[in-house]
Amino acid sequence: MTDSQHPLYKFPGGLHLPGHKAMSTTRPIGKIFIPSQLVLPLQQHIGEPSEAIVKKGDSVLKGQVIAKASGYVSVPLHAPTSGTIVDIIDHAVPHPSGLSASSIILKPDYQDQWIELPAPENYLQMDPSALRNRIREAGIIGLGGAGFPSFIKLNPGAHTAIDELIINAAECEPYISCDDMLMRERAREIIGGIQIMQHALQARRCLIGIEDNKPEACEALQQALSQLNIDTIEVVRIPTIYPTGGEKQLIKVLTGKESPSHGLPLDIGVVCHNVATAATIFQAIMHGKPLISRIVTLTGNGVQQAGNHEVLIGTPIDEWIEHHGGYHASVEQLVMGGPMMGFTLSTDQLPIIKTSNCILALSRDETNTQQAAMPCIRCGACMDVCPVNLLPQQLYWQAFAREFDKIQDYHLFDCIECGCCSYVCPSEIPLVQFYRFAKTEIWAQERDKVKSDQARQRHEFRLERLEKEKKEREERMLKKKAALKAGKGKKEKDSKKEAIEAALARVREKQKQSSSESKNTDNLSAEQQQKINEIENRRQRSQANKNNAQGDSGTE
Amino acid sequence: MLEAILTMSLLAAGFGLLLGYVAVRFHIKGDPVVDKIDALLPQTQCGQCGFPGCRPYAQAIAKGEADINQCPPGGESTIVALSDLLGVDAKPLNPENGAEEDIKTVVTIDEEVCIGCTLCIQACPVDAILGAAKQMHTIITDECTGCDLCIPPCPVECIHIVPIQDDITTWKWPSPEKPGVERPTPDHSAVIK
């Protein structure tokens, strides 16, 4: 429970960034408001998109499943409020591409009427797998940003023992404060959720890693722990260094363990979940409520009123910002996520989705004055700040030259895209942009490879099939020819006669079979035979008597 | 003298037998170079290279009968990969074979117009068209390689080329340095003071 004794470790590199968090933590978490329309993209998580099970015109209740999970790495989607399904169409989604994706459009009826929720259960008596199922049914994904379905990360697997459950409360990116506010106001829910996770994972110990720039949140959590008298959960204050909130970085800081390059933290007996996910799991298990809202930070000098609000999933950003005071005249750029890892939005007519943690409206004086990149001077500053010990400069050269094989030798896929290298680059080279470009390019090549292998297989199969068909045709022709040749010597009549005779023979054969069908008189014992003979004699006698009698009467 | 001759002949016979055995035991069917070349080709089976499919082209390259710059669907990246494999210089795509298309395409059948003649089915190198005589035909889009070989045989011109649309799962980050493309906003869009 105390945080003074816990040994801390260091990860390489990292940056001390100005926090900019105070501007959004002055007010309590804002209440939910129901917008005029909700846009619910079917893909809000990593994995297979959900599959819509409602259709246009259906009325739905709050918390009703409107799209079911398709495949293992998938979760269902629930209606955030009661209303009518207006349409299921492609709608612009918050994604760096700015592209559209299939979404359910829901028009609220402002009744906000809940569907009947599953009864709360005592999770301690639940089987961990049933517990995971409940968490899946509630549509819960990691709320830290990546959006991986939580139930999978609550499965310790058959052979792995979980030493530590780590709760990520670091929130290291500047501006974002949604987890901070959540911890201040709902510490008990978080602790409850962590206990449920501990049960699902059968984890002995839990560490909550929280950056030391959030003393109020830390205090709130510790208070809740002492009130509930729990000693298996420990709150650990960690130094504020960006990107301490990266999963692998946090694990390193708290346990000293390093996750394998291509592996998962599970491989070293650690599981890491976000603090907001814990609170959502608490709601799902203890109150049966699915994930239909989340806390989102609205911040930056580009808005009138920065703060944190509980927002229904699917709320359009423009309406939400308007509801909370609107933009400031100086607004220049809209970013989803933080300034380091977030991406620019080209429009505000996009919905808040499950993974949206922050909307950053930057004013003119906060945005970068987009200078053109200058040549790399090989200063090595990027290398010093890389938290994964990569060689950003080498990666940059390889990406620049499109050497996609070689770039993987420099462990491109271990890059967490934290943006430290771009931040310190004196030449303002958009380094992370290059890595993202290389990553998606490599994935595209891999997809092409799979497709071309498939095409090769299909083409070869087709050739084989054509060959086989040709052979069969030739064989048939040969047979026909042979038959013709053989038939030439004999007269046609003969063959006809033969056919008729063969048919007759078949008929005779059949008749023979049917005549000798009754076989129940075969294999009789001597006794039975005798009985039959007796009966036979009696019948003959009676027949003879009858004949005699007739003869007698006739003569009379 | 005799001993030396005997030793040498014995050794020669021994190694000869060994080599003979190895040649039979570890015999590789087919030409491994052809397989390697074939693996680099895009497998559209479009025939733009002048050969009836990707494998025949690979065989021709292996025999030295064809150049490495005859595959428009593979484009520059395929030429570079082939030059790396074969240790020859990369060269620009031969314009006689066609130009490299930036956008990948597939075909669709206008099902209202289709008369069910099966000619396109016979032309498709990867069996990606479904249909039967006098029945409407349709393209299995996931299997279509975009070779366009089905278009010329169609008597009613009901087959159309459509570009493959990017969605959020296949979208690629643009290169920050690609000429002609506006440099996208970098990830550290905010200067934090």
Q: What local confidence, expressed as pLDDT, does residue B183 receive?
A: 41
Residue B182 buriedness (CB in 10 A; 0-12 / 13-18 / 19+): exposed
For the segment A227-245, what is each residue's pLDDT rounded down to a tens digit? Answer: 998 889 999 999 999 999 9
Quick check: A283 and A188 in contact, CB under 8 A?
no
Quick check: A171 and A214 in contact, CB under 8 A?
yes
Q: What local confidence, expressed as pLDDT, does residue B190 receive?
A: 43
Instruction: Check CB contact under 8 Å for A368 and B184.
Output: no
Query: Is pLDDT above 50 for A53?
Result: yes
Q: At the fourth CATH level, which superfamily is domain B32-97?
A: Electron transport complex subunit B, putative Fe-S cluster (1.10.15.40)
d(CA B48, CA B45): 8
Chain A CB contacts of B145 under 8 Å are 451, 455
* ipTM over cut 0.90: no
Q: Are strands A164-169 and A270-274 parallel, antiparallel or unpaired?
A: parallel
Tally: H helices and E strands in chain B: 5, 4
Q: What local confidence, expressed as pLDDT, does residue A402 receive?
A: 87
Nearest chain A Cα distance for residue B173, angstroms: 5
Instruction: Check CB contact under 8 Å for B175 and A93.
Output: no
Nearest chain A Cα distance for residue B143, angstroms: 7
Give SS3 for A22. Answer: helix
Q: At the fourth CATH level, which superfamily is domain A22-363?
A: NADH-ubiquinone oxidoreductase 51kDa subunit (3.40.50.11540)
d(CA A388, CA A14): 9
The secondary structure element, H or E, covering residue A27 is none
Closest CA to A243 of A151, A160, A174: A174
For the segment A505-551, what is each residue's pLDDT rounded down to a tens digit? Answer: 988 888 887 665 555 666 777 888 888 888 888 888 888 887 776 65
Mutation to test the A interface, candidates B78, B187, B193, most A Cβ within 10 Å: B187
Which tokens hold the place of A10?
Answer: 């260091």
Quick check: B34 and B63 in contact, CB under 8 A?
no
Quick check: B69 and B93 in contact, CB under 8 A?
yes
Closest Cβ–Cβ partner in A174, A417, A459 for B125: A459
Q: What is the dihedral of CA A336, A342, A346, A352, to 10 degrees?
A: -20
Rg of chain B taking only CA atoms, in angstroms: 26
Quick check: A360 and B190 in contact, CB under 8 A?
yes
Q: What local confidence, expressed as pLDDT, does residue B187 receive?
A: 44
Angle between helices A128-137 and A187-201 (to 10 degrees): 130
Predicted structure pTM score = 0.80
Chain A CB contacts of B188 under 8 Å are 339-340, 368, 419, 422-423, 432
Q: What local confidence, expressed as pLDDT, does residue A1 receive?
A: 45
A72 at interface of B, judged by CB pairs closer than 8 A: no
Q: What is the dihedral of CA B80, B86, B87, B93, to 10 degrees?
A: -40
Residue A166 bridge partners (DSSP): A207, A272
Query: Is pLDDT above 90 for A462?
Result: yes
Q: What local confidence, expressed as pLDDT, does residue A263 receive?
A: 84
Residue A428 neighbours by CB under 8 Å, 6+ apart? A371, A372, A373, A374
Quick check: B147 and B52 in contact, CB under 8 A?
no
d(CA A468, CA A465): 5
Instruction: State whether the Cα torsion B89-B91-B97-B103 is positive or negative.
Output: positive
Amino acid at A401: A
At A298, phi and psi to the nearest 5? -115, 115
Query: Is pLDDT above 80 for A488?
Result: no
Closest Cβ–Cβ partner in A372, A441, A455 for B45: A455
Q: What local confidence, expressed as pLDDT, does residue A354 receive?
A: 94
Chain B CB contacts of A430 under 8 Å are 176, 183-184, 186-187
Please work out, in degrees rounded to the nearest 5, the angle formed at the alpha carbon of residue A299 by the alpha carbons of A298 and A305: 85
d(CA A290, CA A117): 9
Q: What local confidence, expressed as pLDDT, does residue A459 receive?
A: 93
Which tokens hold the place of A148?
Answer: 């991986």
Which tokens hold the place of A478?
Answer: 């040969």
Q: What local confidence, expressed as pLDDT, does residue A159 receive?
A: 62
A34-70 burial string, b = 16+ CB within 10 Å, else e? Answer: bbebbbbbbbbbebbbbebebeeeeebbbbbbbbebe
Nearest chain A Cα distance for residue B18, angstroms: 37
d(CA A395, CA A435): 7
Q: Are strands A205-211 and A164-169 parallel, antiparallel or unpaired?
A: parallel
Please give the C-alpha separations between residue B113 and each of B123, B155, B157, in angstroms, as whole numbers: 19, 10, 8
Q: What number of CA atoms fall less than 13 Å from residue A59's CA on the CB side? A: 10
Residues of chain B with CATH 1.10.15.40: 32-97
Quick check: A337 and A362 in contact, CB under 8 A?
no
For the segment A115-165, what is each residue's pLDDT rounded down to a tens digit? Answer: 998 888 788 888 888 999 999 999 999 998 889 999 999 988 766 678 889
Query: Is pLDDT above 90 for A41?
Result: yes
Q: What local confidence, expressed as pLDDT, does residue A385 receive?
A: 95
d(CA A339, CA A37): 28
Query: Is pLDDT above 50 for B182?
Result: no
Residues of chain B with CATH 3.30.70.20: 105-163
Q: What local confidence, expressed as pLDDT, does residue A157 receive?
A: 79
Taking only residues 54 to 83 of chain B, the set having a beta carbon closer than 8 angstroms to any beta carbon of chain A reads 54
Please give the C-alpha separations between residue A368 and each of A207, A242, B193, in angstroms, as whole numbers: 37, 20, 11
CATH 1.10.340.30 fits B105-163, yes or no: no
Chain B CB contacts of A347 under 8 Å are none
Closest CA to A101 of A112, A109, A110, A93: A93
A188 at interface of B, judged by CB pairs closer than 8 A: no
Average pLDDT score over residue span A281-304: 93
DSSP state of B141: G
Give SS3 for A312. Answer: strand
Residue A470 neighbours by CB under 8 Å, 6+ apart? none
Mean residue pLDDT of chain A comes to 89
Q: How confident is the model at residue A555 (pLDDT cuts 50, 70, 90)?
A: very low
Q: Which residue of A has its CA nearest to B171?
A: A97
Chain-centroid distance of CA A396 in Å reads 31
Chain A CB contacts of B168 under 8 Å are 43, 93, 95, 97, 99, 101
Average pLDDT score over residue span A336-357: 92
d(CA A344, CA A317): 13
Query: Is pLDDT above 60 for A418?
Result: yes
Q: What number of CA atoms fall less than 13 Å from residue A51's CA on the CB side? A: 7
For the segment B59-118, what is each residue's pLDDT rounded down to a tens digit? Answer: 999 988 999 999 999 888 889 889 989 988 888 888 888 888 878 899 999 989 999 999
- Map out the domains of chain A as residue ranges: 22-363, 373-484
* Count of other CB atoms within 10 angstroms of residue B136: 15
- Complete edge-to-edge strand list for the sheet that includes strand A100-108: A38-41, A100-108, A83-92, A59-60
* Proportion of chain A above pLDDT 90, given as a percent: 68
B47 at interface of A, judged by CB pairs closer than 8 A: no
Residue A120 buriedness (CB in 10 A; 0-12 / 13-18 / 19+): exposed
B171 at interface of A, judged by CB pairs closer than 8 A: yes
Q: What local confidence, expressed as pLDDT, does residue A520 receive?
A: 66
* Count of other CB atoms within 10 angstroms of residue A490: 10
d(CA A418, CA A410): 17
d(CA A55, CA A65): 12
> How many residues does this entry show for chain A?
556
Q: What local confidence, expressed as pLDDT, does residue B193 receive?
A: 37
Q: How confident is the model at residue A370 (pLDDT cuts 50, 70, 90)?
A: low
Query: Is pLDDT above 70 for A439?
Result: yes
